[in-house]
Amino acid sequence: MPTAHVNGTELFYQEHGDGIPCLVMHGGLGMDHTYLQPTLDPLGDCLRLVYYDHRGNGRSARHSKSDLSLGQWIADADALRSHLGVERIAVLGHSFGGCIGLEYALGSPSRVSHLILVDTAPALNYWGEVDVNIAERDPSEAARTAWQSPPTDDAGMGRWLADVGELCVHPQSDPAFLANLMSRTIFDHVAWARSVEVFNQDYNVTARLGEISVPTLILVGRKDFVCPPSQAAIIQDGIVDSEMAVFEGSGHFPFVEEPDAFFSTVRAWLEKVG
């Protein structure tokens, strides 16, 4: 298994495809790259996809909670870029991975060539909207209870995701696909809990979005209850060189729920911006 020894840790990574070098940042956290690979492999015709597991996640080295921070995850991403021998690299970040991507673009603008943000947000200061979105979905009692009861162990993360799955997808999508999507995932509830803390306490780039000058593509599912189109619109408004696409038949996973539209949108944008 390819491993990068950087910043006192070991990062697991896999490469696929040719074209623009691109770090693929998974969400969660507490999950890993496997729900994105091979799902995103069709983009290998235009991107050299470098899937990796963040420090403390998946097949990368485990660390104590105190060693997990936005600054550290960003430093690890840049160290992986250097390990790959790449001067500038694109970033494709999903959910919390998009938060890391935004912070990376702000902290190391000369290192990021393109930014692709999938169902992410510039801050987590809109819990009222999330509550409204949940209420409008009228979820099952199991889903509602699970959302209010965070997992407390690794095995519990898988069960928790299965229970909240109906919230994560479009109402007309079958949430059963999530079980297959996460079938190879190595869950870590410590990393998950830490990312929730960071999202709530330390993360807010809204006022700084105007500093990002790299071409940015923002992709979001219309029925994403936790990173809704309203948050994607804030990112688009803030980043001058940005475009946004809303996938009407998707929730939090448009690359699975509407793959043809998703991939064609990314390819067309890459061809346009070069």
What pLDDT score does 198 carry?
A: 87
Q: Domain range holding 186?
A: 3-273
Picking from 251, 209, 206, 205, the residue whose alpha carbon sits closest to that of residue 227 is: 251
The backbone region for 160, taken as left when phi is positive above 0, alpha when psi lies in -120 to 50, beta otherwise, is alpha
CA 95 to CA 76: how far, in whole Å?
A: 18
Contact 29/195 with Cβ under 8 angstroms? Answer: yes
Number of structural domains the chain divides into: 1
The CATH number covering residue 69 comes to: 3.40.50.1820
- Supply φ then ψ for residue 94, to 5 degrees: -105, 130
Q: What is the pLDDT of residue 64?
A: 85
| Sheet architecture: strand order including 9-16 | 3-6, 9-16, 47-52, 20-25, 89-94, 112-118, 216-221, 242-247
Two structure tokens written together for 252: 């939090």
pLDDT tens string for the chain (274 positions)?
789 999 999 999 999 999 999 999 999 999 999 999 999 999 999 999 999 999 999 999 998 888 899 999 999 999 999 999 999 999 999 999 999 999 999 999 999 999 999 999 999 999 999 999 999 999 999 999 999 998 999 999 989 988 999 999 999 999 999 999 999 999 999 999 998 898 888 899 999 999 999 999 999 999 999 999 999 999 999 999 999 999 999 999 999 999 999 999 999 999 999 8
What is the phi-psi region of residue 229: left when phi exceeds 0, alpha when psi lies from -120 to 50, beta otherwise?
alpha
